[in-house]
């Protein structure tokens, strides 16, 4: 048997947070192939800032091919169309067939319109840098054409709230601006402290923003939306952030089986149906559910690598134990919230903390190592901070009173 054949073949399907983390951590002693249809990795937690011009597409993208090749592995720009874990093989849209000894599936999640009539055609999605850029262009065109900025946002979760914050940052002085945000749950940011809902409503009181909670959109048209109670809302731009859908590959491969729509995994991230396959990130459904957040995906990618090594060596697998991490939610330049367990802190200065997370990750992931990536990181840091944090710092008369940090009472 050749030396190369002795090396284990590990395939990673998907190259976002979980998949790239796994690729970077996998040993060069394995034959590793990362498959993804896009050449760019995108920092999705900050795409809302494209709507206000704080971020550019270039600042949120890294060369996925260079990252994988620097880790010593092969990158295949293609889409997996057939995955057969039982046969240890997969096939791509480009006609490539690969065998594997272990597979890490990190295909993420898709835009979900919940089959709402007209949404696929008339609503604008908000799942990528390109999506955010298209929305920014649409807003710019409305302003250029002198049309009213009548906007409907579907979804009052983190994505919808952060998008609203950036729209207000850039357009709140436009007299024609009016925003209707529709959320199916009874409160904004469902699942988090109700006090966040109250604080967001307080911040929006000076502006033409209306929150419609406890209702859903029944249909979308070129002129607006119709709610399930029959109410019609005019809209020049309908932005859809409501919900995620599983990629079809999960069901087609047998990783997800009815009634489950996400891939059913053990707490070790190993598929319940195929021992040689691990599912990480948004695509996985653990016995103890975790939020579909980037930091969980990163930790899952790292654990999947360890458990693949344990599987191939016949050792016991380790369970995924999500580390308690604070959640940072930006609301334009009006407020940033830090949610840590049962505590909620609010301060405009916390925008710097969210920016720091972005800079640290992008610098660590950038090809050619941290030292060589410093010029690009410094450029991104200056571009963002002079628009985000510096105006706040320079407007304060007394530096000692800089932190406007306050706790929000939980309701």
Report the candidate in 30, 8, 104, 68 with the shortest Cα–Cα distance to residue 307.
104
Quick check: 255 and 277 in contact, CB under 8 A? yes
Tell me the per-residue pLDDT of 209-251, one tens digit each, with 9 for 90 and over: 999 999 999 999 999 999 999 999 999 999 999 989 999 999 9
Residue 393, pLDDT above cutoff 60: no
pTM as predicted? 0.88
Is the four-CA dihedral 359, 364, 365, 366 of positive or negative sign? positive
Q: In this predicted structure, what is the pLDDT of residue 407?
A: 67
> What are the DSSP E strand ranges found in 223-350?
224-227, 232-234, 237-240, 244-245, 263-264, 277-279, 284-285, 327-331, 335-340, 343-346
Question: Model confidence at 359, in pLDDT bands (50, 70, 90)?
Answer: confident
Domains plus CATH for the chain? 3-37+78-108+246-313 (3.50.50.60), 119-244 (3.50.50.60), 327-407 (no CATH)
Q: Cα 208 from chain centroid?
A: 28
Quick check: 239 and 136 in contact, CB under 8 A? no
Q: In this predicted structure, what is the pLDDT of residue 357?
A: 82
Question: Model confidence at 376, in pLDDT bands (50, 70, 90)?
Answer: low
Tell me the per-residue pLDDT of 327-350, one tens digit each, with 9 for 90 and over: 899 999 999 999 987 789 999 988
Q: Report d(CA 349, CA 330) in Å as an integer.
A: 11
Q: In this predicted structure, what is the pLDDT of residue 365?
A: 78
Residue 310, pLDDT above cutoff 50: yes
Give one DSSP letter per residue of 261-273, joined into a string.
-SEEB-TTSBBSS
Is the four-CA dihedral 261, 263, 265, 269 of positive or negative sign? negative
Q: In this predicted structure, what is the pLDDT of residue 250?
A: 98
Q: Report d(CA 329, CA 232) in Å as an integer.
A: 30
Mean pLDDT value across residues 364-371: 62
Q: What is the DSSP letter of 405?
A: -
388 compared with 63, residue with greater pLDDT: 63
Report the candidate in 314, 298, 391 with the shortest Cα–Cα distance to residue 352.
391
Q: In this predicted structure, what is the pLDDT of residue 377?
A: 47
Tell me the per-residue pLDDT of 58-104, one tens digit each, with 9 for 90 and over: 999 999 999 999 999 999 999 999 999 999 999 999 999 999 999 99
Is the four-CA dihedral 238, 58, 379, 19 of positive or negative sign? positive
């Amino acid at each position: 048997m050749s030396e190369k054949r002795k090396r284990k073949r590990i395939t990673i399907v998907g190259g976002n947070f979980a998949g790239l983390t796994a690729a970077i951590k996998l040993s060069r002693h394995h034959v590793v192939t990362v498959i993804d249809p896009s050449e760019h990795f995108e920092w999705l937690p900050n795409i809302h800032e494209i709507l206000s011009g704080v971020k550019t597409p270039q600042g949120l993208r890294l060369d996925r091919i260079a990252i994988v090749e620097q880790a010593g592995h092969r990158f295949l720009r293609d889409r997996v169309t057939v995955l057969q874990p039982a046969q240890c093989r997969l096939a791509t849209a480009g006609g490539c067939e690969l065998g594997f000894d272990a597979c890490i599936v990190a295909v993420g999640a898709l835009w979900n319109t919940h089959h709402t009539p007209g949404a696929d055609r008339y609503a604008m999605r908000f799942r990528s840098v390109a999506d955010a850029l298209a929305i920014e262009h649409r807003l710019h065109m409305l302003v250029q054409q002198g049309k009213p900025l009548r906007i409907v946002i579907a979804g009052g979760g983190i994505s919808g709230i952060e998008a609203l914050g950036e729209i207000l940052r850039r357009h709140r002085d436009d007299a024609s601006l009016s925003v209707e945000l529709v959320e199916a749950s009874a409160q904004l940011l469902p699942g988090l402290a109700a006090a966040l809902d109250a604080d967001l409503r307080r911040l929006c009181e000076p502006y033409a923003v209306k929150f419609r909670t406890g209702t859903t959109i029944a249909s979308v048209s070129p002129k607006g939306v119709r709610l399930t109670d029959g109410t019609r809302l005019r809209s020049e731009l309908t932005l859809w952030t409501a919900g995620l859908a599983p990629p079809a590959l999960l069901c087609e491969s047998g990783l997800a089986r009815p009634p489950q729509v996400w891939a059913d995994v053990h707490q070790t991230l190993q598929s319940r149906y195929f021992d040689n396959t691990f599912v990480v990130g948004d695509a996985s459904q653990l016995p103890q559910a975790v939020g579909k957040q980037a930091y969980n995906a990163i930790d899952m990618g790292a654990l999947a690598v360890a458990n693949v090594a344990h599987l191939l060596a016949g050792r016991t697998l380790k369970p995924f134990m999500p580390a308690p991490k604070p959640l940072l939610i930006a609301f334009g330049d009006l407020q940033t919230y830090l949610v840590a367990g049962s505590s909620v802190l609010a301060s405009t200065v916390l925008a710097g903390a969210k920016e720091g997370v972005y800079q640290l990750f992008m610098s660590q992931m950038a090809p050619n190592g941290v030292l060589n990536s410093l010029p690009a990181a410094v450029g991104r840091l200056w571009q963002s901070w002079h628009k985000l944090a510096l105006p706040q710092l320079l407007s304060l008369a007394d530096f000692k009173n800089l932190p406007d940090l306050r706790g929000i009472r939980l309701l």
